[in-house]
Amino acid sequence: MVTRKEVAELAGVSEATVSRVFNGVGPMKAETKRKVLEAAQRLNYHPNAIAQSFARRRSGHLGVVLPYLPKVHLFSAYYFSEILSGIGEKVRERGYDLLVLLRSPEEPADYVQLFRTRKVDACIILGARDHSGQKEALRKLKEEGHPFCVVNQHFAGEGFNEVDADHVQGSYEAAKYLLSKGYRRIAFMNGSPEYSNSRDRLLGFRRAMEEAGLEVPDRMLLEGNYSRKSGYEAAERIWQQRDEVEAVFAANDRMAIGIMQRLREYGWTAGKEIAVAGYDDSDAAKLSDPPLTSVYVPFYEMGRLAAERVLDQAISGAEAEPFREKLPTRLVIRKSSERTF
Amino acid sequence: MVTRKEVAELAGVSEATVSRVFNGVGPMKAETKRKVLEAAQRLNYHPNAIAQSFARRRSGHLGVVLPYLPKVHLFSAYYFSEILSGIGEKVRERGYDLLVLLRSPEEPADYVQLFRTRKVDACIILGARDHSGQKEALRKLKEEGHPFCVVNQHFAGEGFNEVDADHVQGSYEAAKYLLSKGYRRIAFMNGSPEYSNSRDRLLGFRRAMEEAGLEVPDRMLLEGNYSRKSGYEAAERIWQQRDEVEAVFAANDRMAIGIMQRLREYGWTAGKEIAVAGYDDSDAAKLSDPPLTSVYVPFYEMGRLAAERVLDQAISGAEAEPFREKLPTRLVIRKSSERTF
DNA sequence: TTGTACGCGTTATCAT
DNA sequence: ATGATAACGCGTACAA
């Protein structure tokens, strides 16, 4: 391995000068710089990144913690993919590297470890739940003052850094739209209330219904686990209540598509006998037939923003005020919610 | 920051002993171990991962290079997501960390840099093309003897480590199946021949057609860029030739779905007026309507295997023989290729 | 079974 | 504008 020392010798300067050239620090004679760079090139010298991290006491890594479930092919989830892409862009821009950390929800969460071992300078937690010591682990992170951020999740009263989307508004608008099309009896299929975004969606939905002076009977509220399958299964209940269901709003696109598939097997087509709307505006919404009306969530932007804010904190080192960003969502209307009957 | 030194002092032992306890190296008295661990706990000591890497001269990182395209939200691609998940599992199992490196296809590729700077101990290259110095960069990696592996891509005559899928077989079987259903005039929509997997698919398709004694006229060969949009657009040409097209085989699911969507606008439904088959057996194949007949590719397994092999090489350090794994594909039959007319 | 001592390749401070 | 040199926190060979 070629080290700075050899470059210094060949260039006839001190090691410190070589460092200065490579870090662009301090004033230096152009001639000296030239000599050093030439020597470095001749020897094929490249600074050892680990040694740099060691000396700088910074890893240069932004950590992203993802829940890891052996059977589930996690990255497949549109949601994580988009957020990760957004983080990736910002990280690139800042010259950081992206350290992806897969953590099983089973094992006790210990995010603090990541910082104590200096593996990361900052980190973003995805898919955290109000659950199994995860909130505890986040509290500890905060106590110790590490720069971290939670995305698409809100922990009430904790003051964590958060980048969220306005899911209350998103659901509100989706429901409003369905109401505006004349539907009154609207079923809502949500995900687990363990996620704040599920709870937010229910709020938005209820608000819209209330404003329209409508009741939300329990039998019109379904719960799934955000999988296509759970939607497919829930559609059976919808079918049983078909006399009083005019529209279905699902908390993500996959469940919505599962619902449409099952209903079609019964002979009902979305946009004809029933209106269906989903959430996320994922690729699947465009691929489905009919294309799915859905609520766009700026996951990519959320990732970018989270990375930006958290890297700023890492660099400034200051005890910054916790931030809570909440990005707007937007309804995208497609055929699944048309009224052709 | 708590260091080994402080732990040693509190425990009344030398620094070396502390290291031994934490690395489980050499014989030691149970009593000593207890004292050290207790002191470490009291002080909340955690070994500095960077210092460890520095001393060991290993980063503990497996690098994964992904093509980065600002506009395209890359992780969205089913393909990358699945491979990454597979890599993630193996990396976890081995106690490594996953360093995700986004590289623009524009900028000159320099993978060697990753090793020279000691950022990674091994790496996996995804989405590499026979293009813009990328092959050169890979050759250099090989010359310098770094452990790396290319996934789902073959570079003929280079002897790179590769984990591929048998796309010749996959296409062959898909075409065979369509032929077995009685279709004779089959259009094939491929992706860019820049990718070896595209070329392989063409081979398999041609082979099946030849065996059936059928010509493959140029007008039955279309090319897209693996996007739904390109399929949607190409469907216009298919429609123009509708008198002589009985079936369409597309090189991925998204293009196949784009084709189905456009054809439906013209009034043709897959599985009725025309048969359609895709490739990848992605989520989209199950979400589409009708569900899409497709060729399953074990991307997850490919990622796992690539990580395993390349980490083995990194650890052994030996100049191992280059490996070339080729995993089987499998046809999954769904409604889009049924014959109901 | 444990301690001593050195090396790892930088960064950064303090002289010059 | 440049050189000397002290950290940085750990692994490990060697000595005891």
B188 touches B202 (CB < 8 A)? yes
Q: Identify which of A123, A120, A130, A178 has the alpha carbon closest to the alpha carbon of residue A295.
A: A178
Closest C1' nucleotide to A6's CA:
C9
Q: Is strand D less than 7 A from the beta carbon of B100? A: no
Q: Helices B228-240 and B253-266 meet at what angle, rounded to 10?
A: 50
Instruction: Determine the residue type at B27.
Output: P
Between residue 94 and residue 113 of chain A, the positions with Cβ below 7 Å from nucleic chain D are: none
- 3-state SS track over B91-138: HHHHCCEEEEEEECCCCCCCCHHHHHCCCCCEEEECCCCCCCCHHHHH
State whether residue B3 sits within 8 Å of chain A by CB: no
Closest C1' nucleotide to B5's CA:
D9
pLDDT in tens, chain B (341 residues): 889 999 999 999 989 899 999 998 878 888 999 999 999 999 999 999 999 999 988 999 999 998 877 666 554 567 888 898 899 999 988 989 999 998 887 787 889 889 988 899 999 999 877 776 888 999 999 998 899 999 999 999 999 999 999 999 999 999 999 999 999 999 999 999 988 999 999 999 999 999 999 999 999 999 999 989 999 999 999 999 999 999 999 999 999 999 999 999 999 999 999 999 999 999 889 989 899 999 999 999 999 999 999 999 998 866 778 999 999 999 999 999 987 65
Cα A68 from Cα A110, distance rounded (Å): 14
Q: How many helices (H) and strands (E) does chain A have?
A: 13, 12
Rounded to whole angstroms, what are the CA distances from B311 to A237, B96, B315?
A: 50, 9, 6
- A-facing residues of B in 111-130 (CB < 8 A) are 113, 116-119
Predicted pLDDT at A14: 87
B259 touches B232 (CB < 8 A)? yes
For strand A162-165 and strand A186-190, is the pairing parallel, antiparallel, or unpaired? unpaired
A271 touches A337 (CB < 8 A)? yes
Rounded to whole angstroms, what are the CA distances from A75 to A100, B75, B148, B164, B256?
A: 11, 8, 22, 20, 22
A192 touches A225 (CB < 8 A)? yes
A82 touches A46 (CB < 8 A)? no
pLDDT in tens, chain A (341 residues): 889 998 998 899 888 899 989 988 878 888 888 989 999 999 999 999 999 999 988 999 999 998 877 666 554 567 888 898 899 999 988 989 999 998 887 788 889 889 988 899 999 999 877 776 888 999 999 998 899 999 999 999 999 999 999 999 999 999 999 999 999 999 999 999 988 999 999 999 999 999 999 999 999 999 999 989 999 999 999 999 999 999 999 999 999 999 999 999 999 999 999 999 999 999 889 989 899 999 999 999 999 999 999 999 998 766 678 999 999 999 999 999 987 65
Cα A69 from Cα A105, distance rounded (Å): 8
Q: Identify which of A100, A89, A154 has the alpha carbon closest to the alpha carbon of residue A300.
A: A89
B85–A70: do the CB atoms touch at under 8 Å?
Answer: no
- Nearest residue on chain A to B284, alpha-carbon basis: A284
Both tokens assigned to B273:
């007026």
Q: Centre a 10 Å sphere on the Cβ of residue A181 and count the other Cβ atoms it contains.
A: 15
Cα B98 from Cα B123, distance rounded (Å): 10
Strands of chain B (E only): list them: 61-67, 97-103, 122-125, 148-151, 162-165, 186-190, 221-223, 247-250, 275-277, 294-296, 324-327, 330-332
Cα B212 from Cα A268, distance rounded (Å): 41
Q: Helices B299-316 and B78-94 meet at what angle, rounded to 10?
A: 40
Cα B323 from Cα B308, distance rounded (Å): 12
Q: What is the largest CA-CA distance in chain B?
A: 89
Predicted pLDDT at B249: 98
Distance (Å) from CA B141 to C1' C6?
Answer: 33
Cβ burial B295-327 (10 Å sphere, 16+ → b, else e): bbbbbbbbbbbbbbbbbebbeeeeeeeebebbb
State whether residue B300 sits within 8 Å of chain A by CB: yes
- Nearest residue on chain B to A103, alpha-carbon basis: B92
Beta-ladder partners of B103: B67
Chains A and B form CB pairs within 8 A to the count of 147
Any residues with CB less than 8 A from the CB of B246 and at least 6 apart, and which? Answer: B183, B184, B185, B186, B274, B275
